Structure 1
Amino acid sequence: MSVLPNRDRQAERREATRREIVDAAWEIARRDGLAAVTLREVAAMVGMRSPSLYSHFDSKNAIYDAMFGQAWSLFLAEAEENLERLPAAPREALLDMSEHFFDFAVADLARYQLMNQRSIPGFVPSEAAYAPSVEVMERFIAAMHRLGVTDGADIDLYLALCGGLVDMQLANDPGGDRWRRQLPRVMDMFADDVALPGPPLRRPR
């Protein structure tokens, strides 16, 4: 007869409550902005008194930390899947990575701001929360090396180009695709500069 392992139901309930608190914080951030997240507001949304919240998170920054780690863990999982199915042609692979990051970024303004901008004064993610972002970067750099882009300055430029287009999209055409449509053109310019082989991504005018 098999014996099931003992379940720590108290730990499970505690983890479920933490997830509920983080979900409530995201809801506030998406509705009113990241700065609007307060312990009182979060507690009210989950039906809890503010002092009780401290048994799960000792500060507002601790909630931001959990949100940060959750967001990067989600992107890591998606990036791993994306990197496994990249096209063989270097330029097409470059565009595929760019479009994947772009779409993830513009899908959620509050999430993008917390992940990639210093939008919360005084907030510094913990080592544990920061770890998924480090793993994303390691996997991304390895993918760029496989494509033939190995110089650190070139990789920095690529990241700046992608981030700049995301910022322009979110600031000037939220919900649209004005700057996403620039990705093939920008990736061709970058690929030309670093001498990546392959036919142009842009359609002839």
Structure 2
Amino acid sequence: MTLHVEIINPYPATTVKELLETKLLIPRKIRHFLRTKKHVLINGETINWQSPVKEGDRISLTFDTEDYPNKTIPMGDANLVKPLYEDSHIIVVNKPEGMKTHGNKPTEIALLNHVSAYCGQTCYVVHRLDMETSGAVLFAKNPFILPILNRLLEDKMIQRQYWALTEGKFQTKKTVYKDKIGRDRHDRRKRVVDPRKGQSAYTTVTRLKTFEGA
């Protein structure tokens, strides 16, 4: 797989090295390949690793097969995919209730496999929804963009909203939960409240409507 990526730099002036390392989050090994192979162009010109990159400059990156080894998964059914948004790097699709975001076994077919068939290439899960939950799921179309999306998710630059129909009544219009979330020690696929080892989480629940008789 040879991957060509071209972007217009949205960041303030910095060096090529710092841009690739701290902004584009390219792993050290792959940055080494880009430098030794001269696979980084700024406005069509080869550059020095300490060359300045200004906001608005055109950055061209070329990745070879050894940079990102080809990952293959079984292709699913492209007809089952309902895209909500798509560009050259990402795709957002609607996951129906009853379908897994990704399989637990290499041969298991799930939404990831259907999305990969739709895009004609292996895609990568950025976040997941439980099988019983329907809604928008974000996928990366290439391994280059995946760590950037993961960082945006960690830094809360990507936010998720859930709508739920529940029994009983919320006494207040808005409730905030700050319980730490960690892996279930009995099933690593599940998440549970873990005040000792869990990661910080902040969830705001807003009551939208109360039905009569609830």
TM-score by length of structure 2 reads 0.23
Bigger relative contact order (CA 8 A; separation at least 6): 1
TM-score by length of structure 1 reads 0.24
